Structure 1
Amino acid sequence: MTDRRMLVVGAHSADFVWRAAGAIAKHTLAGGEARVISLSYGERGESGELWKVPDQTVENVKRHRHDEASKAAAAVGASFDSLDLGDYPLEVDNDAVNELAEIMRDFKPHVVLTHCDKDPFNPDHPVAYTAVAKARLLTAGAVVEAGFRTAPPSEFLVFEPHQPELCGFVPSVFVDITGVFEQKKKAMSAMAAQSYLQQYYAERAEHRGNHARKVTGNKEIRQAEAFMRVVPNVVGAL
């Protein structure tokens, strides 16, 4: 069992599902605590199926997305909350960054996951990275005594974007999610507003499983998720 805490921050309510649901499930299965925070619901730009409903409203889409994301998070043992900042464009002001920093100070995550700092096809993902990176730095301060409340520095990783080769994403960590892949599929199936992504990310997990097998020689690995470290990890020995 572990008392490790994981914080996953997405620009939109479904982002964690496609990119990190397996890693979250592995974390909580081992006894860790996981929180998912979305900066927006993706109500305007990423809820296409819901906008096919006649007389649809933004508030109704938000309610639907909150319910979907809550069910998906529960499927992998995490909690879900949203700052509801709006999307396309996502704009994160200083108050929102400070709110995110306060969440980090209270939760004291051992690891933080979010988006890459580049994405030529999505205007909100780099904004989310910038906000999370700044909040994380504000949380830890200069790692000396400070005149404000701080928390220990966390590990900091970005999860795989939809088109990694165009986002400067080079995997440095693979998480074997074979044993929890059914939980990830359950989480993905909860996101009915973006059902078109389910097959893509199921196939991506298979691809990364192949890469993880080549790295380790472990033929038991069938599915994996990829991450890239932003700051180095520290170990006692190699």
Structure 2
Amino acid sequence: MPATKSALVVSAHAADFVWRCGGAIALHAELGYQVTVLCLSFGERGESAKLWKQDGMTLDRVKDVRRKEAENAAKALSVHDLISLDLGDYPLDFTRENKMKIVDVIRKAQPAFMFSHSKYDPYNTDHMNTTQAVLECRMIAQAWGHNPGEEVLGAPQLYLFEPHQTEQMGWKPDTFLDITPVWAKKRDAVECMQGQEHLWEYYTRVAEQRANHFKRNSGGQSGGRDCKYAEGYESIFPRTVDEL
């Protein structure tokens, strides 16, 4: 692992990283991590209804607006590097060539940990297909025979951030992160996503609900840590630890 601490977010669409792990991005940026955000698409077809309702809207104009929103949000969260691959959405195009682009980003970032979507999402298959591709690309990035001579990836944890309807996705969080110190940054980033204003208050309520779970699981009323805003994650791989 490089001396510089790093993390990687693979976001199916331009706004996903903001709603689902914006707090983790801002918090770890303050802790000295270089956080790379890889947006596979701008969500131009499936997640830009507000823009498409405007007269004379075109695909390129929608992409331009969503790109700018993502850039503004990334700045608010102190993202180190925002990469947009423009693979299209609904559906995302996971050709072999496009998967190799993801592998290249993973190897360059050499993340200590990664974030992506839930394993299952019947409402938005772009999300679950992204995570399946991320798992495959993580495996390829670990292979010594892939582009010999490049730095090989270690074994970064993959955290699955919260989907929109958890009870339908089989998502079960095992990690809660207190994002109270950086909540203002996340809220600023959320408000950059003008194309999906209807989700601003929804994800504020999610953060407040997860804060309750953080408090309960850190000791509850018998001495739990106070928390106003939190994010939840489901981890994929076992952890190796020296103490609990």
* 1-structure distance, mates of 2:40, 2:6: 19
Structure 2 residue 118 is the aligned partner of structure 1 residue 116? yes
**Aligned residue in 1 for 2:31:** 30
Counterpart amino acid of 2:86?
D
* 2-structure distance, mates of 1:56, 1:161: 29
Deviating runs (4+, > 3 A) in structure 1?
A: none
Structure 2 residue ranges without an equivalent (≥5): none
- Would the aligned equivalents of 1:91 and 1:127 in 2 still touch at CA under 8 Å? no
* 1-structure distance, mates of 2:204, 2:225: 19
Structure 2 residue 243 is the aligned partner of structure 1 residue 237? yes
**Aligned residue in 1 for 2:70:** 69
Counterpart amino acid of 1:23?
A
Once the two structures are TM-superposed, the CA of residue 41 in structure 1 deviates from its matched residue by 0.6
* 2-structure distance, mates of 1:168, 1:176: 23
* 2-structure distance, mates of 1:16, 1:106: 19
Once the two structures are TM-superposed, the CA of residue 33 in structure 1 deviates from its matched residue by 0.7
**Aligned residue in 2 for 1:43:** 44
**Aligned residue in 1 for 2:91:** 89
Counterpart amino acid of 2:37?
V
Once the two structures are TM-superposed, the CA of residue 208 in structure 1 deviates from its matched residue by 0.3
What whole-Å deviation, never above 9, does each CA across 1:110-142 have from its counterpart, x for those lacking one? 11100012001112111111111111110012x
- Would the aligned equivalents of 1:40 and 1:83 in 2 still touch at CA under 8 Å? yes
Once the two structures are TM-superposed, the CA of residue 51 in structure 1 deviates from its matched residue by 1.0
* 2-structure distance, mates of 1:219, 1:137: 37
Q: 1:146-225 alignment to 2 at 5 Å?
A: 146=145, 148=148, 149=150, 150-217=152-219, 218-225=224-231
Report SS of the residue matched to 1:190: coil
* 2-structure distance, mates of 1:204, 1:3: 32
What whole-Å deviation, never above 9, does each CA across 1:135-184 have from its counterpart, x for those lacking one? 1110012xxx5363322221111101001111111001100001111111
Structure 2 residue 139 is the aligned partner of structure 1 residue 137? yes
Structure 1 residue ranges without an equivalent (≥5): none
* 1-structure distance, mates of 2:62, 2:41: 12
* 2-structure distance, mates of 1:113, 1:4: 15
* 1-structure distance, mates of 2:240, 2:145: 24
Counterpart amino acid of 2:201?
Q
Q: How many residues align?
A: 234
TM-score (norm 2): 0.93
Once the two structures are TM-superposed, the CA of residue 210 in structure 1 deviates from its matched residue by 0.3
Once the two structures are TM-superposed, the CA of residue 220 in structure 1 deviates from its matched residue by 2.1
* 2-structure distance, mates of 1:94, 1:117: 20
Report SS of the residue matched to 2:129: helix
Counterpart amino acid of 1:5?
S
Report SS of the residue matched to 1:46: coil
What whole-Å deviation, never above 9, does each CA across 1:51-95 have from its counterpart, x for those lacking one? 122111101110110100011011111032211011111121111
- Would the aligned equivalents of 1:174 and 1:227 in 2 still touch at CA under 8 Å? yes
